[in-house]
């Protein structure tokens, strides 16, 4: 009797236990048990310029809404980014929530690649970093997905540049032109406009230099080179064995750094190119206009000196008009003489031909009687 009573009680307990377990599993598998991730800030800014750490830290928590479940919950987290090159990690990745524990703190680190492209405008949206995962219950062994959370990472534009020239040094005669290829490298992380100018150009102009460039402004994408061709005309002036080296200072300014309020100071750089103007021996250098006018000047000087000499010596001179008339007469006489000489030569040729013909006829007459 007692044994039967114990069996009935045991059977009732087993049925009751199975029913409680089933109810617990239903509660876990339904919407009553919720595990979610929440960060204390939804966005942040990362700087990728030199000397600044490209890492940002987001603090948050994993929160559980247990409802009727009071057992242990194991949580496994994962993190992903939507932009190649960005790395992210979350700690702890695995955690066990003990009974009656409803949350725990997590820490996520996001690291941008060196010189990552700017993501603070409409064409380049911020980077999205998402943390998600799975949860498991003990002892019921029910699982579900952790409600994810996404944060935005913005990369501000920074401005930097470098300058070089090919060749950095030229030499030439005064008045010659030399061309330099100025290479400007955009070392920032976004497209930028660069403006080139000559430092103290008024002084160079006063010395006779002239500068021409195919352009003074150029737009260059991130991590790319741009080329400006600069032509330098050296001074055209008299120099007696002059050999002088001039340093021409170029200044290149990032115009974007002037417009961007996040930039602490405008970014610019100076670079020196060199030009050597030299002579050889004792020689006078003039402009090409001078060399064109030089023959006329010399003729005028010679005429003046001749007149001075003639007047000083008392030499009688014939006016140029008379000299020209006599010269034309001499030319006419010369032409007549050449014509007469040509006619005389023709007459002599005719006489010689006639003489030869008469000789041939006389010889023929003499040979006739001999044959008879």
Q: Is the pLDDT of residue 229 over 70?
A: yes
The answer to whether position 42 is within a domain reads yes
The answer to whether position 319 is within a domain reads no
Q: Do 136 and 238 belong to one domain? A: no
Q: Give pLDDT tens digits for 157-184.
A: 888 888 888 888 887 777 778 889 999 9
Closest by CA position to 104, among listed 79, 128, 135: 135
Reported as type and span, the H/E element at residue 152 is strand 143-155
The answer to whether position 88 is within a domain reads yes
Q: What angle do CA 187, 191, 194 make, to 5 degrees?
A: 75
Reported as type and span, the H/E element at residue 309 is helix 288-313
Q: Do 132 and 234 belong to one domain? A: no
What percent of the chain is predicted at pLDDT more than 70? 77
The answer to whether position 283 is within a domain reads no
- Average pLDDT, whole number, for the chain? 78
Which pLDDT value is given to residue 102?
87
Q: How far is CA 125 from CA 117, 128, 132, 183, 273, in A?
A: 11, 9, 22, 31, 41
Q: How many domains does the chain have?
A: 2
Residues 235-240: what's their mean pLDDT?
60
Split at pLDDT 50, 70, 90, the class of 17 is very low
Residues 181-202: what's their mean pLDDT?
89
The answer to whether position 299 is within a domain reads no
Q: Give pLDDT tens digits for 121-150.
A: 667 788 999 999 999 888 777 888 999 999
| Residue span of the structural domain in which 147 resides | 29-155
Q: Please identify, among 155, 182, 213, the residue that sits at the C-terminal boundary of a domain.
A: 155
Q: How far apart, in whole angstroms, are the C-alpha atoms of residue 58 and residue 108? A: 5
Split at pLDDT 50, 70, 90, the class of 315 is low
The answer to whether position 145 is within a domain reads yes
Q: Do 151 and 165 belong to one domain? A: no
Q: Do 209 and 272 belong to one domain? A: yes
Q: Please identify, among 155, 185, 205, the residue that sits at the C-terminal boundary of a domain.
A: 155
Q: Please identify, among 248, 278, 308, the residue that sits at the C-terminal boundary of a domain.
A: 278
Q: Give pLDDT tens digits for 24-40.
A: 434 444 447 889 999 99
Q: Is the pLDDT of residue 294 over 70?
A: yes
More reliable by pLDDT, 325 or 90: 90
Q: Is the pLDDT of residue 202 over 70?
A: yes
More reliable by pLDDT, 43 or 363: 43
Q: Do 139 and 252 belong to one domain? A: no
With beta carbons less than 8 A apart as the criterion, state whether 248 and 273 touch.
Answer: yes
Q: Is the pLDDT of residue 260 over 70?
A: no
CATH code assigned at 229: 2.60.40.2310
With beta carbons less than 8 A apart as the criterion, state whether 236 and 277 touch.
Answer: no
Q: How far apart, in whole angstroms, are the C-alpha atoms of residue 96 and residue 117? A: 39
Q: Kindly report the backbone phi and psi dihedral angles of residue 32, in degrees, each rounded to the nearest multiple of 5, phi listed first.
A: -75, -30
Highest mean pLDDT among 48-52, 97-101, 279-283: 97-101
Q: Of 1-5, 118-122, 295-299, 354-358, give the lowest mean pLDDT range.
A: 1-5
Which pLDDT value is given to residue 307?
79
Indicate left, alpha or beta for 133 from its phi (over 0: left) and psi (-120 to 50: alpha).
left
């Amino acid at each position: 009797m007692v044994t039967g009573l114990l069996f009935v009680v045991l059977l009732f307990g087993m049925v009751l236990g199975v029913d409680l377990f089933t109810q617990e599993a239903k509660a876990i598998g339904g919407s009553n048990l919720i595990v979610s991730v929440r960060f204390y800030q939804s966005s942040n800014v990362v700087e990728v310029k030199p000397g600044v750490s490209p890492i940002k830290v987001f603090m948050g928590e994993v929160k559980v809404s247990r409802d009727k479940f009071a057992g242990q919950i194991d949580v496994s987290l994962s993190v992903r980014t939507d932009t190649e090159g960005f790395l992210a990690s979350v700690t702890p990745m695995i955690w066990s929530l003990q009974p009656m524990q409803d949350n725990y703190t997590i820490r996520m680190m996001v690291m941008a690649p060196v010189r990552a492209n700017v993501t603070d405008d409409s064409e380049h949206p911020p980077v999205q970093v998402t943390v998600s995962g799975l949860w498991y219950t003990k002892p019921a062994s029910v699982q579900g997905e952790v409600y994810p959370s996404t944060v935005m990472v913005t990369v501000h534009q920074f401005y930097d540049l470098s300058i070089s020239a090919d060749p950095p040094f030229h030499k030439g005669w005064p008045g010659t032109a030399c061309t330099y290829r100025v290479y400007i490298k955009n070392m920032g992380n976004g497209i930028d406009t660069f403006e080139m100018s000559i430092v103290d150009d008024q002084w160079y102009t006063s010395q006779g230099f002239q500068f021409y460039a195919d352009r003074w402004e150029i737009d260059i994408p991130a991590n790319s080179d741009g080329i400006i061709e600069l032509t330098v005309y050296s001074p055209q002036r008299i120099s007696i064995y002059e050999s002088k080296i001039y340093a021409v200072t170029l200044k290149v300014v990032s115009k974007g750094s002037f417009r961007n309020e996040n930039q602490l100071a405008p970014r610019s750089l100076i670079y020196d190119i060199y030009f050597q103007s030299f002579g050889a021996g004792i020689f006078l250098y003039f402009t090409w206009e001078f060399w064109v006018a030089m023959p006329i000047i010399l003729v005028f000087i010679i005429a003046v000196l001749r007149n001075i000499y003639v007047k000083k010596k008392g030499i009688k001179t014939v006016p140029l008009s008379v000299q020209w008339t006599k010269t034309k007469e001499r030319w006419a006489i010369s032409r007549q003489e050449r014509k007469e000489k040509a006619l005389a030569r023709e007459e002599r040729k005719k006489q010689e031909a006639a003489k030869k013909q008469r000789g041939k006829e006389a010889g023929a007459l003499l040979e006739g009687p001999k044959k008879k």
